[in-house]
Structure 1
């Protein structure tokens, strides 16, 4: 996790991400968690928390603990949300020795580019989940994924940033996300580029992984989060996988 996007350039997240977008997302997730959980949802574990954009609003509803691997993102998250407990660790293997009413992964599961790592992440999440609690993961399935291009901009008094992102399928189970940052600070331009490899898997694989982890699964469509940033005529449909951990007295 030595990517500059999530370390040296982590500070750009606050300028490029609209708070109202996070609020819209979080309101949906809160509604769905309360709908599907079979217990009161008070304490939430956020795996792959990034710069804490979602946590700005999750913390209005829950006690939040965030986990991420990137020092730069965690530094930004701690500045934005000083009341949230942040921990540097890997979502595949973290062990906090406590359980939560819900575990959420709204923006980072795609970085597991091997299905075995997705399986490990789901099991780690379940290991931190109380009976009747929910695991919520936002992903795109192989069936719905398509090549896309995005543009994001943001500025303050001395800085203007334009980010171009290109998503392109490169194998049966992976795609590349290529990032190009144009950053003008006090009228001086710097250009930064980086390519990440991410995973795409069929919905049946997601369903199977949730079921084998002991979760009753429901799938919600999420289709309009990135429409305003798309450069092409495509769309960017996402699936919200919500798994409820069965109570001990429930039969199969």
Structure 2
């Protein structure tokens, strides 16, 4: 996050509720596409992976543990037998601006190395086979933000390394106002989460998501908390053009994971030293 950015309440004071809002068992099918993309681009074998904006690490968990049995729990950890039986499939380093979300990620993925940082500016001075950014890319609200994040990815990739990203929305696929809600009666206090997504101004590149958290007290009272998120939305062509400008050979892969049936795409960028050299030459010439 930048110096002027304010962290959303979901990732700070309500971070302990993350497993109730978004449990790792919801990500099993998504992770299949990420694992397939990694294998297709880099082959079989153990990889060094950097995930930027890892959040609670739900998607990452299924990349590291393909045999996860999806044990449902009210905390961030996974209590499945595979956690005692299987080694994680890859060596992973993660970055996130929220220490509390990193704590959730660590409980779910205990072997990962962690760093607090902003995906636009962080520099670890290491090279990786792959850089992953799940839906955290939605928090990039300008083309400059996207460009800075792509520079971070390029800085951390070896020659031939791969960047994979997954925006929730593209301008072409945004269906309009959305509403989602869930109830957890198996925790105390009983917890309800409601998510309302809409586009206040179709002429800009921003969406608003309003999260409502309702806590039912032992006396029957209801405490209501509100958390507003502003995220970015861009055409698919913009993403691909910015990736190419940053030195990646960009393409899309089908990503049919959305419950509403809308089209989804993974953004995949391959980094090659020769391409990167040509990019530097173009910048120097300018």
Please give the range of the TM-score, normalised by the shorter of the 2 chains: 0.7 to 0.9
Provide the residue aligned with 1:141 in structure 2.
Answer: 170
Q: 1:211 aligns with which of 221, 236, 244?
A: 244
Alignment of 1:53-132 (within 5 A): 53-60=58-65, 61-132=89-160
- Bigger Rg over Cα: 2
Deviation of 1:249 after TM superposition, in Å, equals 8.6
Task: Classify 1:223/1:160 alpha carbon distance in 2 versus 1 (closer, same or farther; 3 Å).
Answer: farther
Q: Alignment partner of 1:108: what SS?
A: helix
Task: Using structure 2 for the length normalisation, give the TM-score.
Answer: 0.78
Bigger proportion of residues as strand: 1
Deviation of 1:75 after TM superposition, in Å, equals 2.1
The answer as to whether partners of 2:50 and 2:132 remain within 8 angstroms in 1 is yes
**Gaps in structure 2 of 5+ consecutive residues:** 1-5, 66-88, 279-286
Query: Alpha-carbon deviations, 1:149-178, whole Å to 9, x = none?
Result: 222333434243221111111232111011
Deviation of 1:39 after TM superposition, in Å, equals 8.8
**Gaps in structure 1 of 5+ consecutive residues:** 228-233
Q: Alignment partner of 2:170: what SS?
A: coil
How many pairs are equivalent? 245
1:32 aligns with 2:64: no
Q: 1:17 aligns with which of 3, 19, 22?
A: 22
Task: Classify 1:97/1:194 alpha carbon distance in 2 versus 1 (closer, same or farther; 3 Å).
Answer: same
Higher relative contact order (CA 8 A, sep 6+): 1
Deviation of 1:33 after TM superposition, in Å, equals 1.5
Provide the residue aligned with 2:190 in structure 1.
Answer: 160
- Say which is worse superposed, 150-159 or 211-220, in terms of deviation: 150-159
The answer as to whether partners of 1:141 and 1:200 remain within 8 angstroms in 2 is yes
Deviation of 1:38 after TM superposition, in Å, equals 7.0
Task: Classify 1:164/1:77 alpha carbon distance in 2 versus 1 (closer, same or farther; 3 Å).
Answer: same
RMSD between aligned residues:
2.3
Task: Using structure 1 for the length normalisation, give the TM-score.
Answer: 0.88
* Rounded Cα–Cα distance in structure 1 between residues aligned with 2:187 and 2:205: 42
* Rounded Cα–Cα distance in structure 1 between residues aligned with 2:236 and 2:61: 30
Provide the residue aligned with 1:169 in structure 2.
Answer: 199
